[in-house]
Each structure stands twice: as structure tokens, then as C-alpha cells.
Structure 1
Amino acid sequence: ARDLWSTFRRHPWLAPAMSLTRPQPLPGAMPFSEWVLATLAGQGLDLQTAFTCYLALINYIRGTAVNLETEAEAQAATGLDSEEWMDAHEPELRAVFAAGGFPTLDRLATEGYDFDLDLLFEFGLQRILDGIAVLVATARP
């Protein structure tokens, strides 16, 4: 999973070019698919469940990576990275919060949040893998 994320990091155009609903036969990607399916089936999951886990994992990785190309394009167009863009738009955000109705978001803006796509990816990946581990544990006799 981390290798796929690294590939998407090196080639930001790749994630948007891939399709989950209309997959293309990509011989270079099939060893990973085979490994995941064989591993999950070997742990007691039926093939339908194993493939569903595989699709959820791939969809998460791809879905997070889609932001890479979009961010690169936005940075090229504006000359601002995401942190600089947020800093530039903070007064607008604060004005919305000042109007009321968003106390938790206001608190978050005051405390700050260090957005890092790699850390976000790792956090989500661990939650998915933890969930699959529970599924595997319940599949064993």
C-alpha cells in the first residue's frame, strides 16, 4: 500500500487516470493485487470479502492520491502552496466563524492544524488495516 502511495507521489497524474469502476488490465499492477488477495484468502477470508477489502484499500489510496495532481495544479496556477493559500484566506474564514454557529471549527482554527497529506494518508491507512485485521480475526475458525 505504501509503495502504491509512493508511486502516486512520484506520478501525480496516475491516480486520476485510474478507474475503480472500469479497471484496465495492467500487468504491472497485478502482482500487488494477487499478493493482497492471496494474503487475505490465506487468512481465512472468502474471495468475495478479500476482493472487497482489496477494492476498499485501493480506493482509499487512489482517492487520497487524487489530491496530489489537483494541489500541484493549484500551486502552479496561484504560486501558493496549500499552507500559504490557507493563510491568505484566513480572514474570510474567521469572518464566517465570527458570524457564529461553528464553535468547534472556530476552536480548531484558533488552535491550528498542521495539514500534511502524507500523515493523513498514514492515519487513514492504519484505520483501514486495523479494520481488515478485525475482519480477518473473526474469519478464522
Structure 2
Amino acid sequence: MKAVVQRVSKASVIIEREKVANINSGLLVLLGIVDDDTQEDIKWLSNKISNLRIFSDEDGIMNTSLLQTQGDAIVVSQFTLHASTKKGNRPSYLLAAKPDVAIPLYEAFVKQLETDLGKKVQTGQFGADMKVELLNDGPVTIIVDTKNKQ
């Protein structure tokens, strides 16, 4: 499971000209899933994202987490995070989990993040053509991969 975590001043997801998710200060999480991702990966990644100290404290130092700031989050499914660009110029998405595997894991991740944060997490729609708007704050962008836990 791989996530691109962006600290945002605001973010939204639009599907067919309808805004389906909208936050102010918080995190936009792009989430990619592979076939061998597990419930353990979900728990580890949710805990890591909830507790990443990437928000400024009163001294202007990145020392505060989303959990501490009580900011909001949007999670968007992103199969292209597992693109392979080894051969040629057309990415291969063979590593990305198919919907029958990915959807339950995606939904479980969102529920786990809601549990960890103690609040509702907004989402895009799995498999939809989404327009994601964001104002990256910092900019701060962190890539977290459950395959690199050590």
C-alpha cells in the first residue's frame, strides 16, 4: 500500500461537475493498493498518516500531527501510484490491485483512518474520473509505502 500525503490549506474532489469532497486545513491522501496488501498494512499506514508530524507548531516547526491539529482528510484511490515505467514510455499498471481486491481494502483503510482520527474522512469515488483540486501547503508532500516499514 502506497500513499502520497499532501498537507493542504484546502482540497476538493469533483466528479461530473459535482463537488463530492471538500476540506480546509488537513491532508489529501492519494492511496494505491496492490494484491498482497493486508489489514496489517491498513492499520500501520493509517497510524503513520494520523501521526505524521508535518504541521507547524506554535514556533513554526513541523512538529504537530493531523491528529493533534484535528484537521480534516480526503482519501482518493490512485492505482497509478503503482505504475511501472521500466520499459518503454507507456506505464504498466499490472502491480495495482484489481477492483475486487482494491475496493474492500480502500474502504477498510478509510474506516481505519476515521477510527484513528476520531472523525469522518471524506473520499473520492473508487474508479471514477475525478478532478482533484488542492492548495498544497508548504509545499509538503510525503510518500509512505507499507513495503518500506523498516
The TM-score with structure 2 as length reference comes to 0.26
Choose 1 or 2 for highest CA Rg: 1
Q: Which has the higher helix share?
A: 1
Higher RCO structure (Cα 8 Å, ≥6 apart): 2
Q: Which has the higher strand share?
A: 2
